Structure 1
Amino acid sequence: MPSSPLSMRSLSSSLFRSLLFLFMTIFLLYILLFPNPLLRSPVASTSAVPTPAGSGPGATSVRHLLFGIASSARSWPRRRDYLRLWWRPALMRGFVFLDSSVGGGVADDLPPTRVSADASRFPYSFKGGLRSAVRVARIAKELVEAVDGRFAPGDVRWIVLGDDDTVFFPENLAGTLAKYDWERWYYVGGRSEGLQQNMAHSFGMAFGGGGLAISYPLARVLAKVLDSCLVRYAHLYGSDARIFACITELGVGLTYEPGFHQVDLRGDLLGMLSAHPLAPLVSLHHLDNVEPLFPSMNRTMALKHLFEAVNVDPARILQQTVCYDSLKMLTISVSWGYTVQVFEGNQLLPDLLSLQQTFTPWRRNRNIVSGLYIFNTREFPRDPCERPVIFFLESVSFGSDRINSNYSRHVTNDCLQGRRLTKNLQQIRVSSQKLNHEIWQAPRRQCCDVLPSFTDMVLKIDIRKCKDDELIAMQP
């Protein structure tokens, strides 16, 4: 018996609803399991947001860095001990570029050497400058050409350029660069400390002695066009100026990181290193032109001593922590792994962040600008009795869950009678936990406490995270 039109319409309507329900179910499952990139939020989909250091197996490490170190046959024999302090043969890749070959064979604890290609065909017209700047600038090109295509994508993420007297702090360098998406174009480095140097060259230039880093995709493009830039910029002084000019023509600006230090200074770096910016220490330069970092040591011994602390807690090295003893009216400024300064009385934190001018300008002349800097400074008192009592690193050790560093008083016998509160103080013991590089995503200075002590010869300090509403100030 044939079906009625009404029953056929009912059947069709029921089948349509069933099919529609099935389609919607499949569509919702697809959206949940395979989200459309177009539906993601703009923040989640853009790679312009810095990638946190240490986030997952793809985080940038020292293994992803390729170093190009500029040297010469003349300077390499006396400067290679600097590289031995920070080079990690099992972890790092790179070359030292020389102007001519040197004897002595290959050292297992140093990067291999290469003789730079002949750059005599390029012009150089800066009066009184060094023509070697052209050769050194081309290291950026020769470094890429030496390795391009030999590694898997992502295996080399940054090229890092420096001089043979540039001392890098590798873990901090990698941690700093890990904040950025290496697949985009980045040009990272620091400025000169001297205002005059920046005015003469550029505030937008990464000064090469302090080291500079170029993301690998940008480095590959730079390698293709660099030679043409060298012809146009014959009038510039240094290699870093030529690289800066060419990267500028590619439309890329400087990403400034305060941990790169050109050290265009002379004299005693105490004032600079004891008030380091709230950023990881990435590099130091020109150490042949300043006093040893620790008293009673030569330059190499002093750097080795500093690296004893670096190797225990690289992220914390030189980080300034300030705490107060309100009972004794003391202000204690810890530059971890280097020095502790004890001031009698209440010193406000903003004042302590200014650099004590223990150093002198790179170039002294009648131009008033030569004595100006790009950071805040304060006078280092001429009267020894008005200066803080200074304690230098003696030893550092790693316990079960704490790091213990000891600092001994630097005795100068110039104001023992004038220090009533600190006259007997001989040693400072600092306890801390290892600092994680993730702190640099949103840096906050840490706090510290003065712990009870049974003798006035020893001061005990405990460094810790600050509480949410805690102020770093003398409490009544």
Structure 2
Amino acid sequence: MNQTRRKRRSDPPLSRPDSLSPEMPFPSKSPSLLSPRVRNIFLLLTFCSIVFTLFTYCTFRRDQISSIARSLPLFSTQRRHLLFSIAASRDSWLRRSSYVRLWYSPNSSTRAVVFLDRRRLDPDPDHTLPPVIVSQDVSRFPYTFPGGLRSAIRVARVVKETIDRGDDNKDVRWFVFGDDDTVFFVDNLVTVLSKYDHRKWWYVGSNSEFYDQNVRYSFDMAFGGGGFAISASLGKVLARVLDSCLMRYAHLYGSDSRIFSCLAELGVALTHEPGFHQLVSEHYYICVVSRVSIFGKFSSFACLVWLVLDKSSLFPLMLIDEQQRVSIFGKFSSITEIDVRGNLFGLLCAHPLAPLVSLHHLDAVDPFFPKTNRTESVARLISAASFDSARILQQSVCYDSSNIVTVSVVWGYAIQVYEGNKLLPDLLTLQKTFSTWRRGSGVRSNYMFSTRDYKLHNVGNCHRAEALKRLQRIRVLSRKLKLNVEQMNPPRRQCCDISSPFNTSMVINIRQCMPDELIAMNT
């Protein structure tokens, strides 16, 4: 039986790479599924989704979120967010505009306007000063305070006229009000107002340093001479209702009392900031027509006519009779209100632990520095503040236990060197270098702070320790103080070290205190 044998098909020979046909491309590596550009877009979308989810479903409270937002540079308060409104008269502006020129700087985004009662005699604008606006007519508003000044209505209504300026107030977060002799430390004011949310209702300022003034007006009123700030959101509401308040409060004396009363009706209380300083009040009174009656051994004095003077310039304002004076200040009031005059060294050396914001009525006190006039002394203080605004007038106390020496440094102003160990609370008490406007043994000084006597010594007869006899120069070193909200709530005094030993020159270094460090002499 014949069987047919099938031939086995042979497999084709394996081809070598070099035998491939030119028409067949060499197999390449498989491409990646995602290109770098697509991958980056995907990662970005994922990140945005995570952020959106966190801010949508996070359990943070709303005030915590707004606090975080305000800490970002985009939301921080800056100079351009403040608008200063200065109340003045044409006569006072000629004398006091030099004070405004010290702190107003249009090149540094400082925004301000000045309101006068009449048009200026000089029509040419001074570009180193804020633009001037003539106040609107306020004759329709009543004023019934005996012996007072109707100008209080115009000054109060400056608040409304400032806020109603429309597009000129673009980006304004805070409206700041003061007098033409109020000196502002603008950078410090920006720092202070950064603590508060301008979208809420804030009324920020300080009352008087003198107890009698606060009793007469209010402990919860911001005194206008020291300046006060109103948030933009509150200002818009206040501007709409202020005219009705001016009609109701015709019996009040000053402009700041009217603003305070209207804000009280809106339910807004004063937020106290100790960096605002009123210092002295507006006027004092001199008897010009008197009558003396003699009854045996006793005599009685009665003043028939009083002359009201502007305390800063001694400019006569009006004549009032005894009945009007009694209705203003009470029958036990004497010639003047209780305020300070003379040397403010003690006040400045014991400044509160807060940024210096304003000073007022500088024409009524001595220059701050020797051999300067008042304007020059304020300019020197502002010049020091330009180097480290937050540190100006801040007091640091340091000790040298080897020489038993205590040194108090008031940055930008004064250094006091004491022999021996002076306790910190004693040095923080205000030295009474000033005096009251009223004189006499029966005059009492009722201040809102504690005071200690300031004793002057004859340098020639003064006995000094050997360590201090050769001392001629003191250098103070410090890093620039940049305060944030956390550092101001609450604030903490800084420490300092004295380089020892010292001979003719002493070097003091101001620094942050250690967590458990005490400001005291090591014994």
| Normalised-by-shorter TM-score class | 0.7 to 0.9
CA deviation after TM superposition for structure 1 residue 361, in Å: 3.2
Post-superposition shift, 1:360? 2.2
Measured against aligned partners, the alpha-carbon deviations of 1:231-281 in whole angstroms (never above 9, x if no partner) come to 111111111111000011000000000000111222111111111111000
2:116 corresponds to 1:98: yes
Query: Aligned match of 1:380 in 454, 461, 476?
Result: 454
1:145 aligns with 2:169: no
Question: In the alignment, is the contact (CA less than 8 A) between 1:51 and 1:179 conserved in 2?
Answer: no
- Number of residues of Structure 1 aligned to a counterpart in Structure 2: 415
- Equivalent residue number for residue 111 of structure 1: 130
Partner in structure 2 of residue 293 of structure 1 = 368
Cα distance, 1:465 vs. partner? Answer: 1.0
Aligned residue identity for 1:426? Q
- 2:497 match: 449
Partner of 2:520: 473
Cα distance, 1:30 vs structure 2: 6.4
1:74-131 superposed Cα distances (whole Å, 9 cap, x missing partner):
0111101101110111212221100111133111111001111111211112222211
Q: CA 1:379–1:145 in structure 2 vs 1: closer, same or farther (change >3 Å)?
A: same
Supply the distance in 1 between the matched residues of 2:511 and 2:53 (Cα, whole angstroms): 44
C-alpha distance in 1, partners of 2:216/2:441?
A: 16
The Cα of 1:417 is off from its aligned counterpart by: 3.3
1:60 aligns with 2:85: no
Give, as a single letter, the amino acid of the residue that structure 1 aligns with 2:104.
Answer: W
Which residue pairs with 1:217 in the alignment? Answer: 233
Cα drift, residue 168 of structure 1: 0.1
Which AA in structure 2 matches 1:85? Answer: L
Aligned to 2:153: 134
Q: Is the 8 A contact 2:182 2:226 kept in 1?
A: yes
Structure-2-length-normalised TM-score: 0.75
**2: CA distance between counterparts of 1:247 and 1:366?**
41
Q: Which whole-Å CA distance do the structure 2 matches of 1:321 and 1:205 have between them?
A: 31
Q: Please point out which of 353, 359, 378 is paired with 1:284.
A: 359
Deviation at 1:300, TM superposition (A): 0.8
> Is the Cα contact below 8 Å between 2:499 and 2:506 reproduced in 1?
yes
Query: Could you tell me whether the CA contact under 8 Å between 2:397 and 2:406 is conserved in 1?
Result: yes
Tell me whether 97-106 or 164-173 shows the greater mean CA deviation.
97-106
Distance 2:244 2:377 in 1: 43
Q: Give the match's secondary structure for 2:141.
A: coil
TM-superposed deviation, 1:375: 1.4
Q: 1:232 to 1:282 in 2, by over 3 A?
A: same
Q: Which of 392, 395, 401 matches 1:326?
A: 401
Matched, 1:432 2:478: yes
C-alpha distance in structure 1 between counterparts of 2:55 and 2:495, whole Å = 45
Distance 1:196 1:248 in 2: 21
Report what 1:464 is aligned to. 511
Quickly say closer, same or farther: Cα 1:203–1:347, change in 2 above 3 A.
same
C-alpha RMSD of the superposition? 2.4
Alignment of 1:2-41 (within 5 A): 33-35=52-54, 37=56, 39-41=58-60
**Which has the greater radius of gyration?**
2
Correspondence 1:187-226 to 2 at 5 A:
187-226=203-242
Structure-2 residue corresponding to 1:346:
421
For residue 247 of structure 2, give the secondary structure of its aligned residue in structure 1: helix
Q: Does the C-alpha gap of structure 1 residues 374 and 454 become closer, same or farther in structure 2, counting only changes over 3 Å?
A: closer
User: Helix, strand or coil: the match of 2:133?
Assistant: strand
User: What secondary structure, in the 3-state scheme, does the structure 1 residue paired with 2:160 have?
Assistant: helix
SS at match of 1:159: strand
Alpha-carbon contact 2:69-2:75 (below 8 Å) kept: no
Structure 2 residue matching 1:378: 3-state secondary structure: strand
User: Does the CA contact (< 8 Å) of 2:222 and 2:260 recur in 1?
Assistant: yes
| SS state at 1:437 partner | coil
Change (3 A) 1:151 1:228: closer
Local SS of the residue matching 2:471: coil
Question: In the alignment, which of 240, 243, 265 is matched to residue 256 of structure 2?
Answer: 240
CA–CA distance in structure 1, aligned partners of residues 258 and 400 of structure 2: 52
Which whole-Å CA distance do the structure 1 matches of 2:359 and 2:103 have between them? 11
- Using the alignment, how far apart are the partners of 1:321 and 1:371 within structure 2? 28
CA distance in 1, matches of 2:438, 2:50: 65
Counterparts in 2 of 1:307 and 1:231: CA distance versus 1, 3 Å: same
Offset of residue 35 of structure 1: 3.6
Q: Residue 87 of structure 2 corresponds to which residue in structure 1?
A: 70
Gaps of 5+ in 1: 1-28, 386-412
Post-superposition offset of 1:453: 5.3
Partner AA of 1:79 in structure 2? R
Q: Distance in 2 between matches of 1:432 and 1:30?
A: 46
Q: TM-score, normalised by structure 1?
A: 0.82
User: Is the 2:175–2:230 contact (alpha carbons within 8 Å) kept by the matching residues of 1?
Assistant: yes
Measure how far apart 1:50 and its partner are.
Answer: 9.8
Counterparts of 1:120 and 1:109, CA distance in 2: 32
Q: Call closer, same or farther: CA 1:139–1:159 in 2, change over 3 Å.
A: same
In structure 1, C-alpha distance between the alignment counterparts of 2:78 and 2:442, rounded to whole Å? 44
- Are residue 360 (structure 1) and residue 378 (structure 2) matched? no
- SS of equivalent residue, structure 1 residue 258: coil
